Structure formats: C-alpha cells, structure tokens
C-alpha cells in the first residue's frame, strides 16, 4: 500500500491536529495519528478521548488502509523536509512504514489501529452555521477570562448561549467576566453549551479569518465544529453555568471615557510598582483628570501617573487588579474605552467606545480590589 503526498501540505495537516495530542497520555495509542487512506484522500485524526480532531488532504493513491502512526516521529520527520513529494509505503503484514524522499529512506513501525478510541456519534444533533470570523472573534474575546479552578469546572470553559434573539458567549473566573453578543445571528432553537478551553484554543489557532462558515452541531454531551477539511469533536462540560446577568451592575452613574492605548500603557508601567500579591492599582478620578497609582509598602515602591479623560460623575477612588485591567484593555480594539462605575466596592464595567459591527456587543466586568487604608 503506498501513496504520494506533498511534504508541505502533509505538514500543515499534521500540525493542524497535533495540538490535540497530550504529552502525558494514559493510553499509549493516543500518542499516535490515526491515518486512513482511501483512493485519492488521506484522513488524519488525533484524539485525547475528550477532544478529537480530523483533517483530510488529497494524495496520489488508489488503495485503502488504516494505521496508527507514532505522532512525534512522523511530525518531526516531515517537518525536516523542504517542499517535495514524499512516498509512503505501508506493509500491513509487518506493520512497517517506509518514507521515501529526495534525500533517502526512513522506516518506522506503526501499530494496529483497532485500539484507537471511536468518536462519539451526534445522532439527532441540532446545528447552526456561523462564519469563521465571527466564531474566531467570540473565542478571542472571551477565552482569556475563563477560570482555572478544578473545583468549579463550569467556570473553566466558555458558555455558548444560542437563542432566536441572538448568540451570547460568556467567560468568567469570578474576578473578571466577558460577555460577547451577536444580535445579527439567530439560532433556530435555544441551546446552552459549556465548551472546554482546549478545543476552543485549537479552534482559535486553526480557524480562518474569512467569511467561510463553520457548522456547529451539538447534543447534550458533545459539540462538533466542521470547517474546510477540518472536523473537531469535543465533550461538553457538564453542569449549569452561573447566572452571569445577575452580577452585572445595572446602575452605573459614573462614566469615564479614556484613550485605550494611553490607559493600557500607563497601567502596565504603574503595575511594575504594585504589590506582588494583590497587583493593585488605584484609579482616582476627579473632574477630567485620572490619577493612576500603585504602592508596594513591603519594598517602598510607588508610582503614579496622570491622564486626561472625559468624566461624568462624582469624584471617586477605586482599586483594580492590574493584570485583569491589562488583559481586558489588550483584548479591546477601539481607540477609546468607557469605564462605568457605581461605587468603590462594586464591579467596574469596561466597554469599547465604538469600533463594533452592527449587532455586535461586548461587555467586560472587573471586580474591584479593596483599597489599602
């Protein structure tokens, strides 16, 4: 059994799915790519049981065979070649694979693919189509805010909410929260899914930025994303997502508008001098002046800067974790941002001032840090 394939095209396909493979797999078979050859087509699969990713590419072949090939050695070998045709010869009686290139020949053993885990079937699944750009934006805007607490697994993923009024994507770790909404895309039926971080990270790195559609199929246990020649199937996080609407303060009379990059640069500089445990920076706003300061009493470090801003509200001081502010400001794209506040002990709301498409909404919430007295 043999096939011929472009080294660069094969490398792209292997790299697309290789992110699924873990370094500490409990099942040795999961250290392998499942390769399925049919006439003119090669399908490559990688899995960690929870997440399975498959891609396909055209090859020169008229035969059919399935094999589980060691992932690392295959990827490292193909990566080492400049662009050229590679000939793969599989001997099913000896379970050996020979790779022929312009430079020479390389042989390795492959294993029986029968032990490879079978993918879940999505019978009677609902589905929705979203453009690659929209899904990619939703993941980019929310994923960074998801938590890492194993004791609260539902908060370690991103919440997808599909309704006939629009799509909402939410992530929170209880200290910060991001809600990204699309009112211009309607779902045929209501659904709520909690997607784990790993498959979303894989989607983030492999989705295109064009207008091609991603087909999302989902059941109560699994979700499948199909785009181009790639299919990603993952198990959903089981549980009920927290009531995120309840924690978003509705009455925020104090409105601050500031230049996003100026504020981001200032917070980055000031945070160097903040306490290394709390990472607290203090925002003091009066009139149209914003004073940003930090102090680390343990090492007698302190810093402060002033920015001009447009402020409507009562004078106030509020403390935030500088790491959260930096993450949020970095994930906004507008030239200016709006910071809505009500009191020093209540969450602040960050909003982009313009720069969004029609039907697109983005809200970021950050919990305050109690100011040092």
Judgement on whether residues 94 and 75 belong to the same structural domain of the protein: yes
Q: Which of 223, 245, 267 is the last residue of a domain?
A: 245
What is the mean pLDDT of the segment spanning 237-266?
96
Residue 301 maps to a domain:
yes
**Is the whole-model pTM more than 0.75?**
yes
Judgement on whether residues 292 and 206 belong to the same structural domain of the protein: no
Judgement on whether residues 362 and 264 belong to the same structural domain of the protein: yes
Judgement on whether residues 266 and 362 belong to the same structural domain of the protein: yes
What is the mean pLDDT of the segment spanning 188-201?
96
**pLDDT tens-place string over residues 267-309:** 999 999 999 999 999 999 999 999 999 999 999 999 999 999 9
Residue 120 maps to a domain:
no
3 state SS of 152? coil
Q: Which of 115, 149, 177 is the last residue of a domain?
A: 115
> Residue 330 is encoded by which pair of tokens?
């970095």
Find the domain containing 214 and state its range: 126-245
Kindly state the helix (H) or strand (E) to which residue 131 belongs, with its residue range.
strand 126-131
| HEC sequence for 179-218 | EEEECCCCCCCCEEEEECHHHHHHHHHHCCCCCCEEEEEE
Judgement on whether residues 148 and 105 belong to the same structural domain of the protein: no
Nearest to 214 by CA among 125, 152, 206, 222: 206
How confident is residue 372, by pLDDT bands cut at 50, 70 and 90? low
Judgement on whether residues 11 and 48 belong to the same structural domain of the protein: yes
Residue 290 maps to a domain:
yes
Judgement on whether residues 177 and 220 belong to the same structural domain of the protein: yes
Question: For the chain, how many structural domains are there in total?
Answer: 3
Strands 230-235 and 176-182: unpaired
Nearest to 237 by CA among 157, 169, 149: 157
Confidence (pLDDT) at 225: 97
Confidence (pLDDT) at 210: 74
Q: Are 321 and 279 in contact (CB under 8 A)?
A: yes
Residue 373 maps to a domain:
no
At 116, give phi and psi (nearest 5°).
-65, 135
Residue 177: pLDDT over 70: yes
Q: Which of 68, 94, 115 is the last residue of a domain?
A: 115
Instruction: Bin 174: left if φ > 0, else alpha if -120 < ψ < 50, else beta.
Output: left
Q: What is the mean pLDDT of the chain?
A: 95
**pLDDT tens-place string over residues 13-72:** 999 999 999 988 889 999 999 999 999 999 999 999 999 999 999 999 999 999 999 999
Q: Are 290 and 283 in contact (CB under 8 A)?
A: yes
């Amino acid at each position: 059994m043999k096939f011929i394939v472009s080294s660069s095209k094969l490398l792209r396909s292997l790299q697309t799915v290789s992110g699924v493979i873990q370094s500490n797999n409990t099942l040795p078979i999961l250290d392998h790519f499942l390769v399925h050859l049919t006439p003119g087509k090669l399908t490559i699969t990688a899995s960690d049981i929870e997440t399975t990713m498959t891609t396909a590419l055209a090859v020169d072949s008229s035969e059919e065979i399935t094999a589980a090939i060691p992932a690392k050695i295959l990827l490292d070998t193909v990566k080492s070649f400049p662009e050229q045709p590679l000939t793969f010869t599989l001997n099913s009686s000896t379970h050996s694979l020979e790779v022929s290139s312009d430079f020479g020949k390389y042989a390795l053993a492959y294993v029986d693919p029968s032990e490879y885990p079978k993918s879940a079937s999505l019978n009677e699944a609902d589905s929705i189509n979203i453009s690659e750009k929209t899904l990619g934006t939703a993941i980019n805007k929310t994923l960074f805010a998801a938590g890492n607490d194993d004791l609260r697994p539902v908060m370690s993923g991103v919440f997808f909410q599909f309704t006939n009024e629009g799509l909402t994507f939410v992530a929170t770790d209880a200290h910060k929260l991001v809600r990204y909404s699309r009112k211009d895309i309607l779902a045929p039926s209501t659904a709520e899914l909690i997607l784990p971080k790993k498959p979303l990270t894989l989607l983030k790195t492999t989705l295109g930025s064009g207008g091609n559609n991603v087909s999302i199929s989902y059941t109560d246990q699994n979700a499948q994303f199909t785009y181009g020649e790639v299919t990603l199937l993952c198990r959903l996080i089981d549980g009920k997502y927290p009531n995120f609407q309840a924690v978003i303060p509705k009455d925020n009379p104090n409105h601050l508008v500031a230049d996003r990059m100026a504020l981001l640069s200032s917070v980055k500089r000031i945070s160097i001098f903040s306490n290394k445990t709390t990472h607290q920076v203090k925002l003091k706003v009066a009139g149209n002046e914003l004073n940003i300061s930090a102090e680390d009493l343990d090492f007698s470090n302190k810093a402060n800067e002033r920015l001009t801003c447009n402020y409507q509200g009562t004078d106030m001081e509020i403390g935030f974790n500088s790491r959260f502010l930096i993450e949020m400001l970095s994930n906004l794209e507008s030239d200016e941002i709006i910071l809505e506040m009500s009191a020093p002990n209540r969450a602040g709301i960050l909003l982009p001032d313009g720069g969004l498409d029609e039907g697109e909404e983005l809200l970021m919430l950050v919990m305050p840090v109690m100011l040092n007295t």
